[in-house]
Amino acid sequence: MSNELTPTDNSVPPQHAPRATDINPVSEKRAEQQIAILFALSGIGSVLLIYSYIFVAKDVFIFIPVMGNQNAQQLGIGIGMAMSLFFIGIAAIHWAKTLMPDKEVINHRHEFRSSDEDRDELVKTVKEGVAGVQLGRRKLIKRSLGAAIGLFALPPVLLLRDLGPLPKKQLETTNWKAGTRLLTDPGNRPIFASDLEVGAVVQVLPAVEHEDERPLSDIAKDPVLLIRLRPEDFQLTPEKFAMTHEGIIAFSKICSHMGCAVALYEQQTKHLLCPCHQSTFDVTRGAKVIFGPAARPLPQLDITVDGEGYLVARAPFNEPVGPSFWERNSQ
Amino acid sequence: MTSTEKRIGNAANFVDERLGAAGWVKKSLNKVFPDHWSFMLGEVCMYSFIILLLSGTFLTFWFDPSQRDVIYNGVYEPLKGLKMSAAYASTLDISFEVRGGLLMRQIHHWAANIFMAAIVAHLLRVFFTGAFRKPREFNWILGILLLTLGLVEGLFGYSLPDDLLSGTGLRITSAIIQAIPVVGTYISFFLFGGAFPGVGFIPRIFTLHILLIPGIFLAVITIHVMLVWYQKHTQFPGVGRTETNVVGHPILPVYMAKAGGFFFVVFGIIAFLSAVASINPIWLYGPYTPGQISAGSQPDWYMGWLDGLVRMAPPLETHAFGHTISWNILIPAVIVPGIVFTGMALYPFIESWITGDKREHHLLDRPRNVPNRTALGVMSITFVMVALINGGNDILATNFDLSINQIMWFSRVGIFVLPPLAFVITKRLCLSLQRADRELLLHGSETGRLLRLPHGEFVEVHAPISPEKAFILQSHEQPVALAIEEVDARGVRRPGAIKNKIQRRLSKAHAVSVPKVTEEEMKEIEHH
Ligand code: HEM
Ligand code: FES
């Protein structure tokens, strides 16, 4: 073997092998034609785009195997655009690879570190500049400057204050009060206990003044799930059991983890499952967390019936619903 | 002189007499760019960013970033008469009533996914080849900044249409903000303009999404690319390539034509994908309302790993003194990502501390020759992959008939066990690749041909490898561990002994390698 193996010997210039197009005029001619064809394909794409935009109606669907029914106009515009772009690109690259000069060249690098004189001079200039400010001697200026800059940092933060209202008690309260009727969602109808069969799940919202205009921020905390089991299915503390009514138990539908809607109920296991991060709550044991990242059971609503026999809340939730927050008193 | 040449000459003269730029432009045009497919990954980032700017601007002409209620009365029958936000309604209109509008929405979303994928691929190539070493640490940090900004920009972007899926994402975002101790609740109320979902979030993230963040992007990308320009590109080792030169094609015309052509190719591919592959069909999800949810809620893939971490977190909260701290949110959504991104940003400095190497590097490493770094990279990828798998646990469970519990427990254990395992395996693999290189150098490559020796024994014929190849196999440095003594010459313990000990240990682990072929060994071979 040759001595080119030693890495220190790096003097060999990069090799340059001529391409077919460099030596053979036929290849050269062919490459030129190929490039022209590629550009022409791009042109066809543009025409397809324009045609689809102007002449294809919006509601025409065509069936394409694998893809199913496709909107002809969107597809035509898309394919046209893809062709017109893609082939310009391919043509340019093919051109560069076959016909443009492909000789590699060498640039030299220099170290990035500045020369010692430059660095010393810079240090000197900066030092002189700093000395000229005389902060060391002028204590009064130094202190007032510090104070002014400190204060100056406050206004920008303050100016953002009006972005929103203060939280007050909004995260701790809902529209559920003693005596609030449970209304079906959707439908806004009050319900009798007898409307629910054993095993049934119903989503309810509190009766409020304008039921058709609930703000979304209310819908983000008011929804409650009613689930009816046989009373003997429950394994609850006496207080929690007292909050149920004839086997109907009511939980906040807002996940105690990060606030998604706990929407999936499994009949056989009597588990509620949150689709966001799969926290699973056991309905028979007061929505105790049996799996997943949620750290607290879903808050339970105390329910009963009013004089007309409609289901109502006996009391507001006794803890905040939804995800945790710093001010939440969870004891 | 042709008339074109004359016109170019006149224009150049006009500019130069006013700016005197000829010298600088001439120097810049003389820049050369080394060729390697992996050097195009950064370009893909840049091109998809330009495509995002173009398609995004198109969308702003019709999109109405408002949470005001409207009754939908457009052409999409299933949602007719429904109450929804103006943001959602206008997104439906772009999809169904603006010609090419759906295509543009899909181009924008596909480009965002490709943008993030290209950033990650580019980052990996820079990491595994050691391109982040001195003097390119600034560019590495800017890159991490771009990656982080990309995550935020993407999240804001797909939250804008205000459909049921993205609203769920915002619900989770607000819960993460609320979980920040002391100030979280306030920040959440200010950002959302009230209790979730508030009235202000969508218009506000719209401004951030189309103005502020792209502005920062543009500035950072400009600096990033200017630094590549100024510091010149790195190159892979090879005959004729040294630490003091760059070998490649000049800007004009080859690099320009290839790069320009490549932009069109990337755009064309994204347009094709968008024409044939549906992405984020918001009309199927319906408008957002906090009381409902669609099963299988999934973020875009680049957020999926964070979602996966949140899913596997243990149900931990601290309740004390009337306050609540949600570790189940803070650890996976704030603390771990914070550590990951800070660690990534600091890595170039950590590595140079370990190796004690403060020199400039312009020749890239072959990943096998730096086993520790390569193993660390594979370990990090494994970590993210386990998290990502868990982020799709519901999808996996339904598609492969597994139980979510199984996947969750697999991930909870796997996130601790698999990354270290990946580290060990990768390191071994690197070392055996080094050994294979050594064999190749000493004995040439196997030809598969057998030769019968006079005394009847069969041997395989080995062909010598080409000098170019041999050069590459020999071009790396043999790493040496730092010699740090814990005690000085008089036997007195040095200050910072523990720090020294850590540095020495790490440096030793980092320097593990197969000995290079020496010149004597080479000579001996030649004699045979
Ligand atoms: C918006 C995203 C980004 C854009 C547009 C971009 C663009 C580019 C381009 C065009 C190059 C030159 C070609 C190349 O080496 O591939 C480059 C180089 C580089 N990029 Fe990026 N990049 C982005 C993100 C990142 C990220 C996420 C990192 C790493 C964390 C990174 C680190 C680097 C480094 C260190 C170089 C110099 C590499 C060398 O000279 O070999 N960039 N970038
Ligand atoms: S929001 Fe319900 S599990 Fe996370």
More confident residue, A147 or A65: A147
How far is it, in rounded angstroms, from Cα B283 to Cα B275?
17
Tokens representing B349?
A: 């400095």
On the CB side of B176, CA atoms within 13 Å amount to: 15
The answer on pLDDT for A5 being more than 60 is: no
Q: Which ligand is nearest to the CA of B311?
A: 2
Residue B286's CATH number = 1.20.810.10
How far is it, in rounded angstroms, from Cα B253 to Cα B261?
12
Q: Report if residue A134 sits inside a domain.
A: no
Query: Reduced to 3 states, what is the DSSP secondary structure of residue B149?
Result: helix
Burial class (CB in 10 A: 0-12, 13-18, 19+), A143: exposed
Q: Which helix (H) or strand (E) holds A61?
A: strand A61-64
Candidate from B39, B122, B229 with most ligand 1 atoms within 8 A of CB, to mutate: B122
Closest Cα to residue B132, out of B356, B434, B344? B344
pLDDT in tens, A11-42: 555 556 788 888 889 999 999 999 999 999 99
Q: Which helix (H) or strand (E) holds B83?
A: strand B83-85
Query: Reduced to 3 states, what is the DSSP secondary structure of residue B71?
Result: strand
The distance of Cα B428 from the centroid of its chain, to the nearest Å, equals 25
The answer on pLDDT for A9 being more than 50 is: no
The residue assigned the tokens 């200039």 is: A125
Average pLDDT of adjacent 10-residue blocks, chain B of 528 residues: 83 86 81 88 95 97 94 92 94 94 96 97 97 95 97 95 92 94 92 90 95 96 93 89 88 88 96 93 91 80 93 90 92 95 96 91 94 96 95 87 87 95 96 92 81 81 83 87 73 76 88 85 70
- Count the helix, strand and coil residues of chain A and give each as a percent rounded to the nearest 5: 40, 20, 45
- Among A35, A49, A74, A319, most B C-beta atoms within 10 A, so best to mutate, is A74
Q: Report if residue A263 sits inside a domain.
A: yes
Candidate from B48, B126, B251, B256 with most ligand 1 atoms within 8 A of CB, to mutate: B126
- Count the helix, strand and coil residues of chain B and give each as a percent rounded to the nearest 5: 65, 10, 25
The ipTM value here is 0.89
Burial class (CB in 10 A: 0-12, 13-18, 19+), B375: buried
Sign of the CA dihedral running A88, A90, A96, A99: negative
Q: Do B261 and A326 count as a contact with CB atoms less than 8 A apart?
A: no
Closest partner residue to A96 (CB to CB) among B198, B239, B261 is B261
Q: Do A328 and B324 count as a contact with CB atoms less than 8 A apart?
A: yes
The answer on pLDDT for A1 being more than 50 is: no
What mean pLDDT comes out for the span A175-204?
A: 91
Q: Which helix (H) or strand (E) holds A226?
A: strand A224-228
Q: Please tell me whether residues A83 and A196 are part of one structural domain.
A: no
Q: Which helix (H) or strand (E) holds A123?
A: helix A116-133
What local confidence, expressed as pLDDT, does residue B156 receive? 95
Ligand 2, residues at Cβ distance < 6 Å: A 255, 257-260, 274, 276-277, 279, 292, 294
From A40, A73, A98, the end of a domain falls on A98
Q: Report if residue A130 sits inside a domain.
A: no
Cis peptide before B197 (omega within 30 of 0): yes
**In degrees rounded to 5, what are phi and psi of residue A294?**
-65, 140
CA distances from A271 to A83, A252, A279, A325 (A): 53, 14, 10, 26
Which residues on adjacent β-strands are paired with residue B28? none
Q: Which domain holds residue B279?
A: 32-298
Tokens representing B326?
A: 């949600």
Give the β-pairing of A68-71 and A61-64: antiparallel
Burial class (CB in 10 A: 0-12, 13-18, 19+), B165: buried
How far is it, in rounded angstroms, from Cα B54 to Cα B107?
10
Contact A223, A193 (CB under 8 A): no
Q: Do A217 and B319 count as a contact with CB atoms less than 8 A apart?
A: no
Contact B315, B331 (CB under 8 A): no
Contact B279, A46 (CB under 8 A): no
Q: Directed axis angle between helix B101-128 and helix B41-60, to 10°? A: 150
Q: Report if residue B321 sits inside a domain.
A: no
From A70, A98, A126, the end of a domain falls on A98
Closest Cα to residue B311, out of A293, A237, A252? A293
pTM over 0.95: no
How far is it, in rounded angstroms, from Cα B13 to Cα B26?
14
More confident residue, A286 or B491: A286
Q: Report if residue A172 sits inside a domain.
A: no
Which residues in A lie closer than 8 A to residue B468 (C-beta atoms)?
15
Shortest Cα–Cα distance, A21 to chain B (Å): 15
- Reported for B230-233, long-range contacts at CB under 8 A and 24+ positions apart, including other chains, are B231/A112, B231/B135, B231/B136, B231/B139, B232/A107, B232/A109, B232/B31, B232/B362, B233/B33, B233/B34, B233/B39
Cis peptide before B337 (omega within 30 of 0): no
How far is it, in rounded angstroms, from Cα A277 to Cα B297?
9
Domain count of the fold of chain B? 1
Domain count of the fold of chain A? 2
Q: What is the mean pLDDT of chain A?
A: 88
The residue assigned the tokens 């069936």 is: A63
Q: Do A217 and B198 count as a contact with CB atoms less than 8 A apart?
A: yes
CA distances from A7 to A108, B472, B525 (A): 19, 8, 18
Q: What is the CB neighbour count within 10 angstroms for residue A197?
A: 7
Closest Cα to residue B210, out of B79, B58, B331, B323? B58
Tokens representing B230?
A: 């100024």
Q: What is the CB neighbour count within 10 angstroms for residue B426?
A: 22
How far is it, in rounded angstroms, from Cα B124 to Cα B434?
21
Q: Do B272 and A82 count as a contact with CB atoms less than 8 A apart?
A: yes
What local confidence, expressed as pLDDT, does residue B161 receive? 94
What local confidence, expressed as pLDDT, does residue B457 receive? 82
Q: How far is the CA of B149 from the centre of ligand 2 (A)?
A: 26
Contact A316, A257 (CB under 8 A): no
What mean pLDDT comes out for the span A209-221?
A: 88
Q: Report if residue B352 sits inside a domain.
A: no
Find residues 191-250 of chain A whose CB sits inside 8 Å of chain B.
203, 205, 216-217, 219-221, 223
Give the β-pairing of B323-326 and B83-85: unpaired
CA distances from B490 to B486, B487, B494 (A): 11, 8, 10
Which residues on adjacent β-strands are paired with residue B463? B445
pLDDT in tens, B389-417: 999 888 888 888 888 888 888 999 999 99
Shortest Cα–Cα distance, B206 to chain A (Å): 15
Residue A6's pLDDT band, with cuts at 50, 70 and 90, is very low
Which residues on adjacent β-strands are paired with residue A107? B246
Q: Which domain holds residue A85?
A: 18-98
How far is it, in rounded angstroms, from Cα B470 to Cα B80?
71
How far is it, in rounded angstroms, from Cα A228 to Cα A180?
19
Q: Report if residue A139 sits inside a domain.
A: no
CA angle A78, A83, A88 (to 5 degrees): 135
Q: Please tell me whether residues A195 and A305 are part of one structural domain.
A: yes
Counted residue by residue, chain A has a size of 331
Residue A283's CATH number = 2.102.10.10
pLDDT in tens, A318-327: 999 999 999 8
CA distances from A313 to A181, A214, A286, A330, B487 (A): 6, 19, 17, 22, 75
Q: Report if residue B59 sits inside a domain.
A: yes
Q: Do B290 and A164 count as a contact with CB atoms less than 8 A apart?
A: no
pLDDT in tens, A150-180: 898 888 888 888 898 998 888 988 999 998 9
